Amino acid sequence: MKQLLSALLTLCLLISALPLALAQEETALTIDMTKWQYNADDGVYWQVGIAYCASPADLTYETLGIFVPQAYMDGVDNGDGTYTCTVHSTGEQNGYTAATAPIVMPVETAGYAAMAAPTGYVSSVASYTDAGFVYLYAGCRGRDAGAPAGVTDLEAAIRFYRSVAELLPGDTERIFTFGMSGGGAQSALMGATGDSELYTPYLEAIGAVEGYSDAVYGAMCWCPITNLDTADAAYEWNMGVARDGLDEEMQALSDALAASYVDTINTLALTDAEGNVLTLDGSALGVQDTGSYVDALTALVQRSLNHFLEDTTFPYTASASGGMTRGGMGGMDRMGGGHMNGDDLPDDARPADLPDAAHDGMPGDGTTDPAQPGEDG
């Protein structure tokens, strides 16, 4: 009987230790440095199919690819189409080294759709690797998986990259996300929610690497589709007065929505960079289109216009797609401090030359996805 009890006790101890053993095994995510491939035309070492979480919900999306300028890697041909690579610390690309190169991460989630992980070489990354960037291309789940699956996956990918940073080129303190529309929205969330405890249970559920930050240095967000609960009101406040032809009922609805947006702004207590509260006031026209909030928006539009005039070579011909593809943006010609000109970057992270905004910079077919229900594109 004592032997039986002893055996049962031993079995119970083994069973109780099993979850811990499995957890320890799951967090041992790494990268195989003998499995790199090389694109000679673009001078890029690349690897795809890298798992960034230990318990993925969908492997169609939850792997990543890494695309590195050849200057940052020493590669030895394995004779089977793969290369064993190590970091080349003294190599330079466009004024960057393996230690100072920014890491850029696309968020191609138009309409909050899923972004499939790359399964092969992506030729359009060359605009970024030529500029000296390391291109981190992580797939992520979309709206069908429910929020916040997409942001959770992208944050897990950033944690993973930082966990293997000793093996890879790139300054992990200079990670930038960029996207347009629904991708801009999730890029904004990446910028705003780094290291937030609200994401902890979701990251734990997919086995994200622990002990590393998932915060980014900068987030580029073109026409981000955010604040959907106030979008209609914002539109009527901004554009409702610029149209006519509404019947009495529709005009009343437009006016009511516009007024509700005024209440929203004055309740939020938004502040500018100097800490001044932004508010909306009335005007002689009966429309609350004056105040510090209007002044701040006007200044923002003026700065944007000035940047365009400074950065654009004239005569200027806009492309059919505007350089935007699949929830992303064509060129990354402004980087740091909300812009991509490098002026706000530290000296050791300032680019010598960045891709032109006219370049086709996002992976994909070079077209803009059709607008999804509930968004403008």
Give the pLDDT score at 245: 87
Between residues 326 and 184, the one the model is more confident about: 184
Give the pLDDT score at 3: 59
Indicate the pLDDT class of residue 358, thresholds 50, 70 and 90.
Answer: very low
Q: Does the pLDDT of residue 259 top 70, yes or no?
A: yes
Q: Does the pLDDT of residue 12 top 60, yes or no?
A: no
3-state SS string for the chain = CHHHHHHHHHHHHHHHHHHHHHHHHHCCCCCCCCCEEEECCCCEEEEEEEECECCCCCCCCCEEEEEEEHHHEEEEECCCCCEEEEECCCCEECCEECCCCCEEEECCCHHHCCECCCCCCCHHHHHHHHCCCEEEEECECCHHHCCCHHHHHHHHHHHHHHHCHHHCCCCCCCEEEEEECHHHHHHHHHHHCCCCHHHHHHHHHCCECCCCCCCCCEEEEECCCCCHHHHHHHHHHHHHHHCCCCCHHHHHHHHHHHHHHHHHHHHHCCECCCCCECCCECCCCCCCCECHHHHHHHHHHHHHHHHHHHHCCCCCCCCCCCCCCCCCCCCCCCCCCCCCCCCCCCHHHCCCCCCCCCCCCCCCCCCCCCCCCCCCC
Domains and CATH numbers, the chain: 37-222 (3.40.50.1820), 228-311 (no CATH)
Task: Give the lowest-confidence range in 47-61, 106-120, 242-256, 296-310.
Answer: 242-256
User: Residue range 334-360: average pLDDT?
Assistant: 36
Q: Does the pLDDT of residue 213 top 50, yes or no?
A: yes
Q: Does the pLDDT of residue 6 top 90, yes or no?
A: no
Indicate the pLDDT class of residue 174, thresholds 50, 70 and 90.
Answer: very high
Q: Does the pLDDT of residue 341 top 60, yes or no?
A: no
User: Residue range 335-351: average pLDDT?
Assistant: 36
User: Residue range 98-125: average pLDDT?
Assistant: 96
Between residues 21 and 70, the one the model is more confident about: 70
What integer best gives the mean pLDDT of the chain?
81
Q: Does the pLDDT of residue 265 top 80, yes or no?
A: yes
User: Residue range 226-238: average pLDDT?
Assistant: 89
Indicate whether this model's pTM tops 0.85. Answer: no
Q: Does the pLDDT of residue 253 top 50, yes or no?
A: yes
Give the pLDDT score at 321: 46
Q: Does the pLDDT of residue 372 top 50, yes or no?
A: no
